[in-house]
Structure 1
């Protein structure tokens, strides 16, 4: 590894000093026994010695006046407690000298403008490729090497490449900030294993957007169950990192799902134009392939509109009768054999007002014929103001030259229709924006205890102007019948405990209890709860009016955490919320229209909208409650851990919060 590292460094635009007491010369460069004996100052020190020797080398680098050390050595926090302690010492030693650390346990960095290749990864081998304006930063050295190697295979030269490893000092976010500020960088590709600070990530993406640059991110650990025990249905239904995902999408950055997609999207973003919308025109040499594209488009949010009459009139004489001029446009093998005619088809589809982007799906066309088709596509793309992408479903060897020619000219070539459609969908600009926060309403007074029971939260609901059922808390079960008589013939009984987020799980909810039997039912319920949850503190029993039936929604908010805005989640509610997992999330605050849009994302939306002749529910009332909760979460900030209404019962008129859980952040 050290030999490869030194060999790469021969291309650096500046002096390079190998340091090793066992050699006098390495790759034609004079070798020095220690940093103290260098003939001049060193700005950057690359450390590749056993972990036990790293601290002494870094201290020597600090004394020599270096400003940065890249610690390539492993054996630190990644190996356990002893390694973590050594890593902390490393940061402390470097800090004494104002020395910045990249790593440890990293694979170094590349910076094309100065010819710096400070890495030992074999992926840096090979001929220098044209500079693409793409930079990469990531935590995994191995995946970073894979990204670098894949880029090289496609003839793409990365402007910069940084492996931050354990992030003892320089974090991936800080490295990303430096790269976004670099005038040589147009697109930043990031691989993250840990969630960055929310406020800092937002500043990074906003700066990139303001500079006309793009950020593409691949994040692992997206299926993690979460950092804390689940206290509510919302906690079980919203995956860890949702706030990061939503903030990334809102900022205009692009989040992808695998390494190939990270590279594909980064390359596509270096070219102009981007799609103006989600309508695509598909041109194919195979009816079957076109059908696949049509089936897969909807899943990624794209649509295939029927082409307008003017476009079909132009296409009609170009396509045989057994083809199709609608969309997908099936040109058949007959047209593919005539590059000029095929190019005219591409022109006609791209010029249609019904199309925002063009996808060409090709099958068994290879060799010289493939190159002719690729040239026709390229000529049409250069004449168009709309982006082109190609899904070429054939042997890599047969299409290598044609694909390379298209990629060099900014046209993405993918090996499946699904990958091509996902790429186009990622390129469509998004306009998601949160509402402006409402004026403060003095809500902090409601979080003076770790958890609010439903009865304790009644005043909070009133302050938020969210309707709730009539009810009264009784401490003595003997009082339940008298309270019930005031509320109707049938009532609901709920145990009140700050320790029970899921009351029904321990027998703490009874529905439809006759008013005259409320006292005995309350006693039986308390006995059941005591048996099932013996350590739970009991504040009493809430006797509540029985609401008429309606559509039950879950409305949950996870409070601000680690610099991220609160996450608002809506779903089909009740006790089966976790079973069906029909939820949609957004960052708060929301206005009423945004809340309605969130509800429309649910599979259960038709139940609110008059499914099969049922009366339409009061969606406006539900949306007003959701919006009010979202503004409350913004006001409460990191004081709020979680807030949930389950269910919010929505009827023809009105929406009523039938149950409420509020948990404050115990660290505040």
Structure 2
């Protein structure tokens, strides 16, 4: 069902239902923020709420409110929602708790939440168990507490599932203009993605920040990403729950490597949503996106008057997808003329203090550094505290920075290594000068990395492949798994399945070496002593095989000449679809943890990008003159696995090829595992 949230999010009238301190706060905060519309408190016995006269019943209101804040107990909340719907209200915030989130304690929370949704019908509700929202553009607050924001004409939207985190974000002092701060609570009716899409419709919103505890409706998030892309508004996410959660009784390496966080990351990446790792990086990224938008590349120049700061930013960049391009000859010549012979010319640049307080020469140096193929410049400077020091000698920085902004069209950031050395008054001055104020080296580089990702990425047009919910899951034998995958194009070794000592003996006579004998029915056969290799005919092969403690074996050709061993795995994630993992394979897979993940379906180019992102990528390309792997064959193998998944998605639980031995001519799956069940 498509519901319009516009009346709820940009209300022309607000009803506040209840008489507690939270309702009093809603009324007072609206008045304090200069909300232009009427605020109508509703209470059966109190004469005023928040200093405004009340009416006793909903029916006494002069008109149906565009938005209502319901601050009463959970059972009365349901009754009130039904009444608001009947009178044609635009929507409601349900503040009360004790619904689904408390079902284990109350025993009736889930039932009450279902009743609440039924009472709302097609009228939008947000919550229950949430603070609500703040519209700083129009001064409309359906918010039961203090907050630290102020009215703005344009800004970013922050949407979170945590009311307390939302409250904390309103208290930021980083110069981030907040257009909306909204919470989603239990998402009983209206989910995070639906609220996000509605907020992006406001032309005054520049970017969307999502704090996500659980993604939930994947299709809704795909629609949100498509909406954001169409409107040219970037999304950045802070996803909770990064700890890996290996599956219970993991049979494969893939299952132990791929947790809920890996699949969520893959989904966000696929949707073109940038992901950051901390709340401070989240705020800095939103600030950069608001002022500069997505960056056209990850190429950065850094300027400081200290070698220590130049080293710090260089070290902070390690492991990040940011680059400091070398200076051109023309840049070096101009810098040498401006700085003299004693300054080492490099990027990051320590321009020393020889030109400090000479704003014109500083600007000349900064503009020269920005002349190359770079997306953003970072001027590192920490201002002295004004209560104990005289900051007058730092005026040159703002003057020179403003000159750089006027001289070229790339974003230029004023970057403080310590947040407290770039306080709000200076942040405001920097913004007026056209500079992007950033706080903290790590957070600033995270913001640049995210903005560069957004400048290059596009939301995938193909929908995520939905998984089924199979029951009675069983593990196919290796022979069954290989046969099934081979029918979809996967290359497997020539093999023979045998049972009993006599058949084993006959097969060993007929099957030429080099060969491999594998015990059937064992998980992680190598670790359990269930694999033996024979390069030449030997009378011990039968004896060794019989000592494996099984009654049937797989005898197959030994694949030689391998450049590398890879893992190719697919795991069903009920929340996100099917997660593809490609990485360094073999017995040390979990030790190396050299993997890349994506959500199915993928195309050949995405598979190649995953391979190029591995630490063993140089080996695959041919390391130090050695022969490289046949990359096209690896891609074909992954696409064969995907073809099987797509055909069996309703029954499939997981697949693993480990190892996929890749040679200069082919890619061969020498071990395979499939777990599948019946349709639910």
TM superposition score normalised by structure 2: 0.86
Aligned-pair CA distance for 1:636: 4.4
The answer to which of 139-148 and 290-299 deviates more is 290-299
Q: In 2, distance between residues paired with 1:436 and 1:202?
A: 9
1:54 corresponding residue in structure 2: 77
Alpha-carbon contact 1:642-1:663 (below 8 Å) kept: yes
Equivalences for residues 340-359 of structure 1 within 5 A: 340-352=360-372, 354-359=373-378
Q: In 2, distance between residues paired with 1:287 and 1:16?
A: 58
2:511 corresponding residue in structure 1: 487
Alpha-carbon contact 2:255-2:571 (below 8 Å) kept: no
Aligned-pair CA distance for 1:239: 3.0
Q: In 1, distance between residues paired with 2:496 and 2:635?
A: 27
Q: Verify: 1:305 aligned to 2:321, yes or no.
A: no
Alpha-carbon contact 2:238-2:282 (below 8 Å) kept: yes
1:531 corresponding residue in structure 2: none
Q: In 2, distance between residues paired with 1:87 and 1:63?
A: 24
Alpha-carbon contact 1:371-1:401 (below 8 Å) kept: no
Per-residue CA deviations over 1:584-633 (Å, capped at 9, x if unaligned) read 22344455554343223222234334445654344443343234334543
1:316 corresponding residue in structure 2: 336
Give 5+ residue unaligned stretches, structure 2. Answer: 1-21, 386-390, 463-467
2:380 corresponding residue in structure 1: 361
The secondary structure found in structure 1 opposite 2:221 is helix
1:45 corresponding residue in structure 2: 68
Q: In 2, distance between residues paired with 1:608 and 1:97?
A: 58
Q: Which has the higher contact order (CA 8 A, sep 6+)?
A: 2
How many residue pairs align between the two structures? 642
Q: In 1, distance between residues paired with 2:255 and 2:541?
A: 33
Equivalences for residues 332-481 of structure 1 within 5 A: 332-352=352-372, 354-363=373-382, 367-393=391-417, 396=420, 400-408=424-432, 411-428=435-452, 429=454, 431=456, 450-481=474-505
Q: Verify: 1:604 aligned to 2:616, yes or no.
A: yes
Question: Which residue, 71, 75, 80 being the options, matches 2:98?
Answer: 75
Question: Which residue, 206, 209, 228 being the options, matches 1:186?
Answer: 206
Q: Verify: 1:2 aligned to 2:23, yes or no.
A: yes
RMSD: 3.1
Q: In 1, distance between residues paired with 2:409 and 2:133?
A: 37
Q: In 1, distance between residues paired with 2:247 and 2:70?
A: 35
Q: Would the alpha carbon gap of residues 8 and 227 (structure 1) be closer, same or farther in structure 2, given more than 3 Å must change?
A: farther
Aligned-pair CA distance for 1:667: 4.1
Give 5+ residue unaligned stretches, structure 1. Answer: 438-443, 528-537
Aligned-pair CA distance for 1:301: 1.5
The secondary structure found in structure 2 opposite 1:159 is strand
Per-residue CA deviations over 1:15-48 (Å, capped at 9, x if unaligned) read 3222233421223311233334434433433222
Q: Would the alpha carbon gap of residues 526 and 466 (structure 1) be closer, same or farther in structure 2, given more than 3 Å must change?
A: same
Q: In 1, distance between residues paired with 2:80 and 2:451?
A: 46
Question: Which residue, 100, 104, 109 being the options, matches 2:128?
Answer: 104
Aligned-pair CA distance for 1:118: 0.5
Aligned-pair CA distance for 1:107: 0.8
Q: In 1, distance between residues paired with 2:418 and 2:480?
A: 65
Q: Verify: 1:521 aligned to 2:544, yes or no.
A: yes
Aligned-pair CA distance for 1:484: 2.0
Q: Would the alpha carbon gap of residues 2 and 335 (structure 1) be closer, same or farther in structure 2, given more than 3 Å must change?
A: same
Question: Which residue, 8, 27, 43 being the options, matches 1:20?
Answer: 43
Runs (4+) of structure 1 exceeding 6 A deviation are 433-437
Equivalences for residues 562-601 of structure 1 within 5 A: 564=576, 566-592=578-604, 594-601=606-613
The secondary structure found in structure 2 opposite 1:326 is coil
Per-residue CA deviations over 1:205-228 (Å, capped at 9, x if unaligned) read 121111111111111012240566
Question: Which residue, 519, 525, 541 being the options, matches 1:503?
Answer: 525
Q: Verify: 1:66 aligned to 2:127, yes or no.
A: no
Question: Which residue, 130, 148, 153 being the options, matches 1:131?
Answer: 153
1:86 corresponding residue in structure 2: 109
